[in-house]
Amino acid sequence: MNVLVTGAAGFIGSALSLRLLNDGHRVWGIDNLNDYYDVNLKKDRLARLSGYPDFKFIFLDLADRPNMAKLFEDNAFDCVVNLAAQAGVRYSIENPASYVDANLVGFGNILEGCRHGGVKHLVFASSSSVYGLNTHMPFSVRHNVDHPVSLYAASKKANELMAHTYSYLYSLPTTGLRFFTVYGPWGRPDMALFLFTKAMLADEPVKVFNNGEMKRDFTYIDDIVEGVVRVMNNIPEPDPAWNGKTPVPSSSCVPYRIYNIGNNEPVALMDFVRAIEDALGKKAKIDYLPMQAGDVPATWADVDDLIADTGFKPETSVQQGIQNFVDWYKAYYS
């Protein structure tokens, strides 16, 4: 296939691009290489892809409407995987404008490009953050998600609504993926595993919020990539059982689906810290802090629909995933 991957210099985007290239696909990767975190890390991720003749990198911002339109006019994409976004729950409180530009305006440009470009399938990143104030565990794609607690979460919920509209109006097949706390080698420096590892190696305190009373459904990067690939090849069709009187949020009478991709096994934050201690062979100094605005105490993914439709369930253990990350971190920063 000819595949457009947005956010190709990002954590998930670069890993997916590498997998697609190794599978024999042609990949166009776009990224604006913003400085939300270390640009050199992004460039090094891209360097892993540059040796592939079927990879083409385009420096481009999703919010650049004229050049986004030209990208779709000049190329014929079979599938688009939109992973570009302004990430981070806490940063959305500090800099809301960047979320409007990247996650709303930028996604609108993606939808328009797919519509006019005859794209066969748009797969896009949503987030477990959309569950917001929901407390019914595990989080199911069949639950309503109308109470986000951060602008980041609201922007991802908006993406799901925007995609459904284009599926309805233009019969564009769209699939949204709610990722649950992705981690692993080449990960984001603003995520807990990266921050904790860096602090522990420097003998600095690890900042643990909500006094450690948190649980997360940590999902290893290879499992995320496998899930995305399975979904790419599973183009949605209208659900004949869907009923507007009792609407199921995760499907529709149009070609639209929503899936969770998570490990289906929430891990207590302090157990996560202990697994890092085991991988590093040293104890952490803990700085217990209150809950931060926009955060939630727990996440837990129900992946029954993903398993039923793709036959895949993430299975990498946190212990193995953390060890793989620590090995990469020590080599990369040596």
Give me the tens of pLDDT residue by residue for the chain, a chain 334 residues long. 999 999 999 999 999 999 999 999 999 999 999 999 999 999 999 999 999 999 999 999 999 999 999 999 999 999 999 999 988 877 888 889 999 999 999 999 999 999 999 999 999 999 999 999 999 999 999 999 999 999 999 999 999 999 999 999 999 999 999 999 999 999 999 999 999 999 999 999 999 998 888 999 999 999 999 999 999 999 999 999 999 999 999 999 999 999 999 999 999 999 999 999 999 999 999 999 998 887 888 999 999 999 999 999 999 999 999 999 999 999 999 9
Residue 91's pLDDT is: 80
Q: What is the pTM of this model?
A: 0.96
Residue 185's alpha-carbon distances to 37, 206, 222, in angstroms, are 16, 20, 10
Residue 313's pLDDT is: 94
**Per residue, what are the HEC states of 243-303?**
CCCCCCCCCCCCCEEEEEECCCCCEEHHHHHHHHHHHHCCCCEEEECCCCCCCCCECCECC
Query: Which residue in the block uniquely carries the two structure tokens 């925007």?
Result: 162
Residue 280's pLDDT is: 97
Residue 297's pLDDT is: 87
Catalytic residues: 152
* Distance in angstroms between the alpha carbons of the first and the last residue of the chain: 38
Query: Which residue in the block uniquely carries the two structure tokens 């604006």?
Result: 32
**308 contact partners, CB below 8 Å, separation of at least 6:** none
Residue 234's pLDDT is: 97
